[in-house]
């Protein structure tokens, strides 16, 4: 039977004015991770993380989140192993969070939201010449996702939090150096992994997601500091940077693998 033309207009998301699901998208992110449906894969290797804190460059507010960017001109801050077939270079990390602690993460676990989620973005420098090229390729990117939960103050995060007032407005940037983001990654080696996409434009289906099972703990003041940032530039009417997470996307024909039993 011929397929009925889909005449329904794609719903637009207030934050990105782009379709919630891209036409023909079969591996979109984020997704709900149903723990009992994930499949243990004994061939998954441990993830090897080697970051050089001197590759840290600056923090900037890009109007979606705040990003900490790294010098990715050489293999100095890299990950290898896990589900990956190549070595991937760290380009940046950023967060997604909610207006209140009941939601904020992009991925959910058994439909539970965390108040925030950290994304460490890496690109396949073995096979591609630049991040921009890798963004367009199915095995171009690897993003480590770490859930944040409300609990004890995180000392490593505090150095970041202390810098946020300087990047309150969109398109502001400050120098930020000597930061080792491995302090934000739980020591527990357990993770889920699946084939997905960027969760903001250009939404390309180029990401191998590696979602850590264990969250890190941050305190209320640290979450509140994220919520003092603005989507808007200096001089515009202020809009608080909150709820910068994409809605859940259909799993479609995908399996989430776990590195643990």
Kindly state whether residue 135 participates in binding ligand TG4, applying the rule CB under 6 A. Answer: yes
Q: What single-letter DSSP state applies at residue 214?
A: S
Q: CA torsion sign, 26 to 28 to 31 to 33? A: positive
Count, residues near ligand TG4 per rule CB under 6 A: 10
Kindly state whether residue 198 participates in binding ligand TG4, applying the rule CB under 6 A. Answer: yes
The Cα–Cα gap between 69 and 156 comes to: 17
Rounded (5°) CA angle 185-190-194: 95
Kindly state whether residue 132 participates in binding ligand TG4, applying the rule CB under 6 A. Answer: yes
Task: Choose among ligand TG4, Zn ion, none what residue 144 binds, the Cβ cut-off being 5 to 8 Å by kind.
Answer: none
The Cα–Cα gap between 28 and 128 comes to: 22
Kindly state whether residue 121 participates in binding ligand TG4, applying the rule CB under 6 A. Answer: yes
Q: Stretches 19-27, 113-121, 123-131, 215-223: which one binds Zn ion (CB under 5 A)?
A: 113-121
Task: Choose among Zn ion, ligand TG4, none what residue 256 binds, the Cβ cut-off being 5 to 8 Å by kind.
Answer: none
Among 108, 139, 199, 222, binds ligand TG4 (CB under 6 A): 199
The Cα–Cα gap between 130 and 135 comes to: 9
The Cα–Cα gap between 64 and 50 comes to: 27
Q: Where are the beta strands (DSSP E) in 75-202?
A: 78-81, 88-97, 108-109, 116-124, 141-150, 173-175, 191-196
Kindly state whether residue 216 participates in binding ligand TG4, applying the rule CB under 6 A. Answer: no
The Cα–Cα gap between 213 and 57 comes to: 29
- β-partners of residue 244 are none
Contact 106, 117 (CB under 8 A): yes
Q: Stretches 71-79, 118-126, 222-230, 241-249: which one binds Zn ion (CB under 5 A)?
A: 118-126
Kindly state whether residue 143 participates in binding ligand TG4, applying the rule CB under 6 A. Answer: yes
Report, in Å, the least distance between residue 239 CB and ligand TG4: 20
The Cα–Cα gap between 201 and 18 comes to: 8
Among 119, 169, 170, 212, binds Zn ion (CB under 5 A): 119
The tokens describing 259, both together, are 């590195």
Report, in Å, the least distance between residue 228 CB and ligand TG4: 21
Kindly state whether residue 247 participates in binding ligand TG4, applying the rule CB under 6 A. Answer: no
Among 21, 78, 108, 200, binds ligand TG4 (CB under 6 A): 200
Q: Give Cβ neighbours of residue 162 (< 8 Å, ≥ 6 apart).
A: none
Kindly state whether residue 122 participates in binding Zn ion, applying the rule CB under 5 A. Answer: no
Number of neighbouring beta carbons within 10 Å of residue 61: 24
Task: Choose among Zn ion, ligand TG4, none what residue 201 binds, the Cβ cut-off being 5 to 8 Å by kind.
Answer: ligand TG4
Report, in Å, the least distance between residue 192 CB and ligand TG4: 15
Contact 216, 186 (CB under 8 A): yes
Task: Choose among Zn ion, ligand TG4, none what residue 189 binds, the Cβ cut-off being 5 to 8 Å by kind.
Answer: none
Point out which residues bind ligand TG4 (CB under 6 A).
119, 121, 132, 135, 143, 198-202
Point out which residues bind Zn ion (CB under 5 A).
119
């Amino acid at each position: 039977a011929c397929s009925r033309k889909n005449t329904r207009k794609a719903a637009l998301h207030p934050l990105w004015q782009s379709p919630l699901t891209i036409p023909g998208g079969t591996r979109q992110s984020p997704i709900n991770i149903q723990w009992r449906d994930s499949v243990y894969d004994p061939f998954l290797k441990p993830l090897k993380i080697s970051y050089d804190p001197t590759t840290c460059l600056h923090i900037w507010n890009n109007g979606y989140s705040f990003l900490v960017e790294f010098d990715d001109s050489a293999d100095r801050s890299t990950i290898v192993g896990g589900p990956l077939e190549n070595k991937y270079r760290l380009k940046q990390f950023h967060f997604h969070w909610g207006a209140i602690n009941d939601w904020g993460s992009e991925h959910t676990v058994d439909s539970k939201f965390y108040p925030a989620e950290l994304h460490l973005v890496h690109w396949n420098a073995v096979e591609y010449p630049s991040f921009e090229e890798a963004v367009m390729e199915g095995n171009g990117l690897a993003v480590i996702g770490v859930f944040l939960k409300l609990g004890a103050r995180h000392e490593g995060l505090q150095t970041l939090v202390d810098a946020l007032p300087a990047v309150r407005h969109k398109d502001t940037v400050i120098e930020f150096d000597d930061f080792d983001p491995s302090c934000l990654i739980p020591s527990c080696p357990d993770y889920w992994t699946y084939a997905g996409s960027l969760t903001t434009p250009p939404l390309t289906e180029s990401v191998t997601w590696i979602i850590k099972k264990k969250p890190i703990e941050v305190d209320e003041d640290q979450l509140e500091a994220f919520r003092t940032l603005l989507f808007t530039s200096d001089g515009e009417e202020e809009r608080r940077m909150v709820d910068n997470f994409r809605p859940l996307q259909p799993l479609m024909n995908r399996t989430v693998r776990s590195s643990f039993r």
